[in-house]
Structure 1
């Protein structure tokens, strides 16, 4: 739309909106419908067919509709702003504007597209679907193009498994259809801080942090203030999977009940951040997530997963975790043991220094050196050679053996 035409359009769209509401069809002699193909031409001119555009110029969506016009012609039933609605919803609202104001509302773009001369119904048989944002928590939704069902929880579409339907008391007769693209775009987890429970029942409560469901201990429920938040029922299968997760690596957490200590999550372990590292390593630039007191205590006490490859921010030295000890890797170890194929986690140096200083891996840790067929198990700081019959179904697993530099094993006395 040209700047001159746009100014005329603005005046028309705002000045006639209230009149159009009073009697948009009884007094109108303008075009009242246009095909999707014609609307696509208008959108190509207005926004290069970008139906989600918001450039800050006061016009929104593929057809560049003013917010005041959108509201006046019922667009709010779909979304707060045009660019937040689907293409179909924008066109359906534009049809009402066309009926009330005529093709001139789109100026030269409307003229070039032949908007005034196309009287086709853009969606002669297609249904209109509500925006997910307008649906209440607990509403079951699905796309018209697939069998999957989700339940709306604080703007997210949490997947509902077939096994959830009966125990969770979901009524499949009350499913609301939403547009396919909107269905697929729904976040799969409620936002951080949402308190949830199993829809099928039970006393356990969880808080959602970065897609993981963290268990809230009985002592945390009131002390951490979770009892003051809405408690949302979620599908059983989804909750079980989310409860088995930990917040993503790099997530900064703190005790929900308060206190100065801060931690960063690394493979399920809460690694403490010293005061000096808080700013020096940029942790102060990340969002802080409050987590249940008891969950944090357990996560901070966890031994970092064997085989995790780590380094601190200001040092190129790389280490591998083995039974809580950080073992230095030379370049040949790093590549020869295959650790160059794993993610390298940057962790606080103070915590790492303590892990490096440990004299030996924890009891029970199983170690294997490159080019050595013997698996060694640590016990009280010493090593013992293991036999093949200690491994197998119902016994120990070779998957739990940590590959380490030969120097670490050589340095341990033999039991």
Structure 2
């Protein structure tokens, strides 16, 4: 917009814009739209394709628009000057100028780029997709940008595997397209507390806690009030995986029925009892308390913490333990680093639980122990230790991965089986 003819056009632009606003029914024979590629040609001609150019000549940006023109056609809604606006914003303003003045607003570059004969909307409106939050549970959804399919369950998008389609009777002809960003942002796990079942059928019912599916016994179904909640079908493959997962470490739980006042904290699938003193002293009262099926909770409370778990009390006690067959074995700093436990995650447990576990006489039968003083692997039998042989390990047999490294002092105090 820098020629003599352009200057005359710039002087008249305000009147043109006002006329367009006052008489919207008036039409022009000039083009009112052009493709982005055509606008790129104009910008290449006007400004060597530099959409941020400001040389001080009174014209700005890729389309070299004067300030009077920029203001008259609403460009200041985007930026104070054309060169400070985005390429798209400059093109959208250029569209208004083109509609009002035609390609002559760019006397040389407009005709050279065939600006007046393009007639293509540079930024056509895309299809309108529904908000996934408005879709009912059971609706199949996908992004227009990929093949993955999810099923809506209480506001979440649970992945549907190819193996689920037939047994779960999912009708792929009824898939609803949603925005790609919205599709990817969908939580893949239903909210905690959602009651679910296998979409393919069956009597088993589960409740979601974190990303795990906890079985609900027949007794708990009514006693815990789960029969009063919506019962949602979920894809078979997802459910099978969720059943194998455990509730997240640190999650505080209680019996959903409310008949048991005890509170527990989860650690690697075990529910550890929290004493009344520790409930507030260790800050468990500040965490979200989740109700879980009573029968599941009783089983989790009876389950010992996995062998090799490294743990310390949630209070100020600095002692670190390794779990071995239900016993919390205290570790010195030399043990902690020498046995490689400093490379593992250090978990927390209620102090009263750890003290009771540390006071146990011996690990449960079958626990395999190894101390740094020798290469002998010991197996606990009736509170005593028995040396194992190499032929007990291997494919289809015991695994060295299940052996727990403990301080020499711990194995030394266990009597040895000699016969």
Matched, 1:226 2:206: no
* Aligned positions of 1:318-337 closer than 5 A: 318-337=320-339
Counterparts of 1:249-328 in structure 2, within 5 Å, are: 249-258=249-258, 259-312=260-313, 313-328=315-330
- 1:75-116 CA-to-partner distances (Å, cap 9, x unmatched) read xxxxxxxxxxxxxxxxxxxxxxxxxxx997x97447755666
- Alignment map for 1:150-161 (pairs within 5 Å): 150-161=150-161
Residue 370, structure 1, aligned to residue 347, structure 2: no
SS in structure 2 opposite 1:277? Answer: helix
Correspondences of 1:115-134 after superposition (within 5 Å): 118=95, 121=121, 123-124=123-124, 126-134=126-134
The answer to whether the 8 A contact 1:367-1:401 is kept is yes
- Structure 1, residues 145-169: CA drift from partner, whole Å, max 9, x if none? 2221111101111011111110000
User: Does the C-alpha gap of structure 1 residues 121 and 282 become closer, same or farther in structure 2, counting only changes over 3 Å?
Assistant: farther
Equivalent pair of 2:207/2:214 in contact (CA under 8 Å):
yes
Aligned equivalent of 2:411: 409
Which residue pairs with 1:187 in the alignment? 187
What CA deviation, in whole Å up to 9, does each residue of 1:329-356 have, x standing for no partner?
0111101111101111111001111001
| Aligned partners of 1:168 and 1:236 also within 8 Å | yes
Q: TM-score, normalised by structure 2?
A: 0.72
**How far apart, CA to CA, are the structure 2 residues paired with 1:382 and 1:340?**
28
Larger Rg belongs to = 2
CA distance in 2, matches of 1:309, 1:171: 48
User: In 1, Cα distance between the equivalents of 2:337 and 2:129?
Assistant: 55
- Specify every segment of 5 or more residues in structure 2 that has no aligned partner in the other structure, as ranges: 1-22, 27-31, 37-71, 82-88, 97-119
Contact 1:35-1:118 at 8 Å conserved across structures: no
SS in 2 for 1:215: strand
The equivalences for 1:14-413 within 5 A come to 108-109=77-78, 113=89, 118=95, 121=121, 123-124=123-124, 126-258=126-258, 259-312=260-313, 313-413=315-415
SS in 1 for 2:311: strand
Q: 1:292 to 1:327 in 2, by over 3 A?
A: same
Offset of 1:27 from its aligned partner? Answer: 8.1
Which piece of structure 1 moves more, 333-342 or 142-151? Answer: 142-151
Alpha-carbon distance in structure 2 between the residues aligned to 1:103 and 1:187: 44
Sort the Cα spacing of 1:322 and 1:127 in 2 relative to 1 into closer, same or farther, 3 A. same
Q: Is the 8 A contact 2:150 2:159 kept in 1?
A: yes
CA contact (8 A) 1:103 1:111 kept: no
Long gaps (5+) in structure 1: 1-25, 37-101
1:371–1:132: structure 2 CA closer, same or farther, 3 Å change rule? farther
Measured in 1, the distance between the counterparts of 2:284 and 2:132 equals: 35
- RMSD (Å), alpha carbons: 2.7
Query: How many correspondences in the alignment?
Result: 325
